[in-house]
Structure 1
Amino acid sequence: MTGLFYAAAMALLVTVALALVRAWKGPGTIDRIMAAQLVGTGVIGVALTLGAARGDATMLDAALVATLLAALAVAAFVASRAPRGARKDGEDRS
Structure 2
Amino acid sequence: MSDFLTASVGFILAMLALGLVSILRGPGDADRMMSAQLIGTGGIAALLLLGTVTGVPAAVDVALILALLATFASIAFVKKGLSRLEVDSTDGT
What TM-score bracket applies, with the shorter chain setting the length? Answer: 0.7 to 0.9
Deviation per CA, 1:24-60: give whole Å up to 9, x if none. Answer: 0001110000001101111111110010001111111
Unaligned runs of 5+ in 1: 86-94
State the percentage of identical aligned residues: 40
Q: Secondary structure at the match of 2:22?
A: helix
Unaligned runs of 5+ in 2: 88-93
Q: Secondary structure at the match of 1:84?
A: helix
Separation in 2 of the partners of 1:28 and 1:65? 27
Runs of 4+ aligned residues of structure 1 deviating over 2 Å after TM superposition are none
Q: Which residue of 2 aligns with 1:5?
A: 5
Amino acid of the structure 2 residue aligned with 1:29:
D
Name the count of aligned residue pairs.
86
Separation in 1 of the partners of 2:28 and 2:11? 26
Q: Which residue of 1 aligns with 2:28?
A: 28
Query: TM-score, normalised on structure 1?
Result: 0.87
Separation in 1 of the partners of 2:16 and 2:40? 8
Report which of the two has the higher share of helix: 2
Separation in 2 of the partners of 1:62 and 1:15? 20
* Equivalences for residues 14-25 of structure 1 within 5 A: 14-25=14-25
Query: TM-score, normalised on structure 2?
Result: 0.88
Q: Secondary structure at the match of 2:86?
A: coil
* Equivalences for residues 63-74 of structure 1 within 5 A: 63-74=63-74
Q: Secondary structure at the match of 2:56?
A: coil
Report how far residue 8 of structure 1 moved: 0.4
Separation in 2 of the partners of 1:60 and 1:4? 19
Q: Which residue of 1 aligns with 2:50?
A: 50
Q: Secondary structure at the match of 1:27?
A: coil
Amino acid of the structure 1 residue aligned with 2:78:
V
